[in-house]
Amino acid sequence: MLGNFIDETGEFRLSLSKDIRGMLSLHEASYLNTGEEILYKAKEFSGKHLKSCISNSEPNLARLITGALEHPYHISLQQYKARHYLSYRQKLLGGNGAIEELAVMDFSRSEQLYLKELKEFTNWWRRLGLAQNRELARNQVLKWYSWSTTILQGPHFSKYRVQMAKVVTFIYILDDIYDVVGSLDELPLFTEAINKWEHPSNNSLPDYMRMCYAALHDTTNEIANIITKEHGWNPIDSLKRVWAALCNSFMVEAKWFAAKHIPTTDDYLKNGTISTGARHRSALILSIRARNNEQDRRFY
């Protein structure tokens, strides 16, 4: 389709740059690129001409263009983009039309739901008691919750956004244990405990590690129980495996650091695909979506 806008030299026709709304649509579409050369050209062409027209546009449109360039729709939070576009539409119309009224209602309802979830998550974090532990002092509740809003969007995922935020919390806490807090003598014991996944009372870890392990153990089992009740299958074995894989990868990095070893790019990337914690977020998403689908379970 985009080939219709190409001239005989293989470039986008310059006359297209006069259509600012068309340029905005073309720029947003370019972020759906999966390797097509024409979409690379579309991004370069639209970006160049949109930047050049900002200073000559009325303030409301200029803000819309700047927002599209700095935060493209397909790689941004939907609610964030909705808020800015709604503001543009309201100023453009001098008020709200019927569609804008519905959009305002939907945005307000989503905002209230997010605030409710954040409150629930914050209360869980306080009850957990890890924030009061001097050695596990990282306290970034809003950051941890924000991760879940980018991964699971929509009111039907409300309960699971809270659970996802808990998973993200432990990824950060474990990262601190291996990078900052734990000694090279303590870390193998902690890694072994995660791999065995025994009851927290059955290990002889340092107090701060035992406290973290107990919280992780109980929270993971709670999440597995929620999924079991709602979807009819128990993902606990898979969740245990991904926690073990994460700690094993953190252990590898801790040994590299202690030995002042610089790994090869291949080794670093291979280990990094696990230590980023992406598998844990994916594991929870798949366990939610798998439901009773046997094919999805086998993939998971």
Query: Is there a shared CATH topology between the 2-76 domain and the 109-299 domain?
Result: no
Q: Give the sign of the dihedral formed by CA 275, CA 270, CA 289, CA 231.
A: negative
SS3 state at 39:
helix
Outline where DSSP puts E strands in 75-177.
Answer: none
Non-local CB neighbours of 125 within 8 Å, separated by 6+ positions: 131, 139, 141, 169
Element (H, E) at 125: helix 98-128
Is the pLDDT at 292 greater than 70, yes or no? no
CA distance 87 to 124: 34
Residue 162 has which token pair? 């809270």
Q: So where are the chain's domains?
A: 2-76, 109-299
Residue 234 has which token pair? 């128990």
Q: What is the pLDDT of residues 131-175, one digit of tens each?
A: 777 666 578 899 999 988 888 888 888 998 999 999 999 999 999
CA distance 194 to 213: 8
Q: Where do runs of H (alpha helix) occur along 177-261?
A: 186-196, 207-231, 236-258
CA distance 227 to 297: 13
SS3 state at 12:
strand
CB 177 within 8 A of CB 136: yes
Give how far Cα 15 sits from Cα of 20, 42, 69, 281, Å. 11, 14, 20, 45
Is the pLDDT at 7 greater than 80, yes or no? yes
pTM reported for the whole predicted model:
0.78
Architecture label for domain 2-76: Alpha/alpha barrel (1.50)
CB 223 within 8 A of CB 166: yes
Give residue 267's pLDDT: 94
SS3 state at 233:
coil
Give residue 177's pLDDT: 92
Give residue 134's pLDDT: 62
CA distance 295 to 128: 36
Non-local CB neighbours of 298 within 8 Å, separated by 6+ positions: none
Give how far Cα 168 sits from Cα of 121, 131, 174, 175, 281, Å. 12, 15, 10, 11, 8
Is the pLDDT at 265 greater than 70, yes or no? yes
Is the pLDDT at 299 greater than 50, yes or no? no
Residue 296 has which token pair? 């999805």
Over range 124-129, report the average pLDDT.
91
The residues that bridge with 6 in the sheet, in sequence order, are: 12
Cβ neighbourhood burial of 298 (10 Å; 0-12, 13-18, 19+) = exposed
Q: What is the pLDDT of residues 170-213, one digit of tens each?
A: 999 999 999 988 999 999 999 999 999 988 776 788 888 999 99
CA distance 49 to 288: 43
Over its C-alpha atoms, the chain yields an Rg (Å, rounded) of 24
CB 262 within 8 A of CB 217: no
Is the pLDDT at 214 greater than 90, yes or no? yes
CATH of 109-299, one of 3.40.190.10, 3.40.50.720, 1.10.600.10, 3.40.109.10: 1.10.600.10
